[in-house]
Structure 1
Amino acid sequence: MPATLLAPLCALLYLAATGLQLLQLSQHNQKINRSVGALGLAALVTHGLVVWEIVFRSTGADFSFFRVTALIFLVINLACVASLTRRPMQNLLIVLFPLSALAVNVSTFAPATSSAVSPLNGGMVLHISSSILAYSVLTLATLQAAVLALQDHQLKHRHTRGIIQILPPLQSMEAMLFELLWIGLGLLSIAIVSGALFIDDIFAQSLVHKTVLTIAAWLLFATLLWGHYRLGWRSKTAVRLTLAGFALLMLAFFGSKLVLELILQKA
């Protein structure tokens, strides 16, 4: 089945799963029922088929601005589902699934922004996969930080109804955030080192902004983790630095692609 048919089907499955999950949350049921799980699994499989068709080629992979968005959201969703085996992160699905529905359709129907195809040799596979995994895990950390900020605000103002009733305790939410940050920082470290080893010149004119911003993000996340375990940084500081680090990563990855492919129209 072509991607032009799979993408709308994938979006419908994601939106249906979101609707059921919202219904579960409105009933203060924190667990994912079988219907949500089945719809989510079907959406992920369909999403994977779309990515396979629009991203991967016999000579390499198309990581242009719109195409790579579908791949990243697929990996983010898989990372979130994998995390559900250890942590109650199902509340993030009501944000991720609608965004994934949008990303799949935009990636499928938007015009190509680049004709370049990236070769998939061993070194580049390591660099690209670790980069996408790092970005995906740190996206989850950022969403977790946003929910944590909302929860902290509600508790400080003694609001005990609404979303606060379906969230885990604040301490557990913080633990989940820092666990995601540790994993994300490790993957980002691998991405930076593999880039230095397998890319001819990571400070070339077309890559220098991406490289500098990525290293700056790494330093920010590393400082946050050091401050948490050495100085006891929590809540507000953690949220602010997480959002700042993610903003740098967004500029590094999507900002550079936006300028090169959509504004300057370079392959």
Structure 2
Amino acid sequence: MLFVATLIAITAYLGAAWLQWQRLSSPDSYSGRLIRLLGLGAFIFHGYAVYALLHYPEGIDLGTFRVGSLIAWVVVGILLASSLRQKLDNLFIGAFPMAAITAALAAFAPDTGDHRLYSGGLVVHILLSLLAYSIFTLAALHALVLSRQEKLLKQHHTRGLLHSLPPLQIMERLLFEMLWCGFILLSTALITGFLFVEDLFAQHLAHKTILSIVAWLVYAILLAGRALLGWRSQTAVRWTLGGFILLMLAFFGSKIVVEMLLKG
């Protein structure tokens, strides 16, 4: 059942992404509601697969591929909900294939994690970290679209992607709304980490902790620069992507080293 659910999710994700891509050249070719319903179906089957892969009688498996699938699932859920209020449908083109790839890796790649029981405080820290990473993933995707939108405007293109996007000012506002939300979650995750993790600077955690703090500083500088200096457009894009790369290295870099290289 796990493999069937994963295959259905992958097929639905890729189908929805392809339909959204077709809408760029022909906005009336497919209904946005149809694409969201297809994405919702993929999200439901993906959710079943995530639950089955993470939960075991001995504890929770937070291996690299399985956590990656969980994060992608959360990203899709947030995006589907947000797309009902904001014009974010074009992010489906990046988020859905990402979810399909991570779902496939989680289900079919070798398991690299351990099954462990976690205390309540540690579970809160993990959930906040995952939510923060998910929001920043969306922000990074949004920043890439924003960067492309600005370049198309300078080249005086009016069709395709540019025609389907909100005005540049609204896109920038949405980006900073995501950044503020992610920044608050990351700040809370770091605080709970210091409260509930026994030693955040232990040998196997130091890399993750230091890079996470540096990423927090990057986002803090970006948000301060926006408020005090009016940073926008390509400056905001570069700082957003820089902070995201640091977070990606903090989370997945440390897990890959511990789970694959050291164990190997």
**TM-score, with length taken from structure 1:** 0.94
Which residue number in structure 1 is paired with residue 40 of structure 2?
41
1:146 offset after TM fit, Å?
A: 0.7
Task: List alignment gaps of at least 5 residues for structure 1.
Answer: none
Map of 2:59 onto structure 1: 60
The structure-2 alpha-carbon separation of the partners of 1:32 and 1:233, relative to structure 1 and needing over 3 Å to count, comes to farther
Provide the residue aligned with 2:244 in structure 1.
246
AA aligned opposite 1:208: A
CA change 1:129–1:173 in 2 (3 A) is same
1:5 Cα shift? Answer: 1.9
Partner in structure 2 of residue 27 of structure 1: 26
> 1:31 and 1:17 mapped to 2: Cα distance?
10
Q: Which moved more, 1:37-46 or 1:182-191?
A: 37-46
The two structures have a TM-score, normalised by structure 2, of 0.95
Report % sequence identity. Answer: 47
Measured at CA, do residues 212 and 158 of structure 1 come closer, stay the same or move farther in structure 2, by a change above 3 Å? same
Q: Measure, in 2, the Cα distance between the counterparts of 1:248 and 1:30.
A: 39
Per-residue CA deviations over 1:211-261 (Å, capped at 9, x if unaligned) read 000000001001100100111111111011001100100110011111111
Q: What is the match of residue 210 of structure 1?
A: 208
| Partner secondary structure for residue 205 of structure 1 | coil
Specify the SS of the correspondent of 1:61.
strand
Contact 1:63–1:117 (Cα < 8 Å) also in 2: yes
Aligned to 2:233: 235
Once superposed, what is the RMSD of the aligned Cα atoms? 1.6
Between stretches 152-161 and 255-264, larger displacement belongs to 152-161
1:17–1:251 distance in 2 versus 1, CA, 3 Å: same
User: 4+ residue runs of structure 1 moved beyond 6 angstroms?
Assistant: none
Contact 2:25–2:159, Cα closer than 8 Å, also in 1: no
Equivalent position amino acid for 2:24 in 1:
L
Q: Distance in 2 between matches of 1:58 and 1:127?
A: 22
Distance in 2 (CA, whole Å) between partners of 1:232 and 1:118 is 46
Deviates more, 1:190-199 or 1:13-22: 13-22
| Aligned 8 A contact 1:32 1:90 in 2 | no
Q: Distance in 2 between matches of 1:31 and 1:202?
A: 49
Amino acid at match of 2:135: V
Q: Tell me the CA shift for residue 101 of structure 1.
A: 1.0
Per-residue CA deviation, residues 30-74 of structure 1 (Å, 9 max, x unaligned), is 995332222111111100000010111234211111111111100
Aligned length: 264
The answer for the alignment partner of 2:167 in structure 1 is 169
Distance 1:42 1:66 in 2: 22
For residues 244 and 29 of structure 2, the distance between their equivalents in structure 1, rounded to whole angstroms, comes to: 28
Displacement of 1:79: 1.2
Partner Cα distance (2:119, 2:231) in 1: 41
Contact 1:213/1:248 (8 A) holds in 2: yes
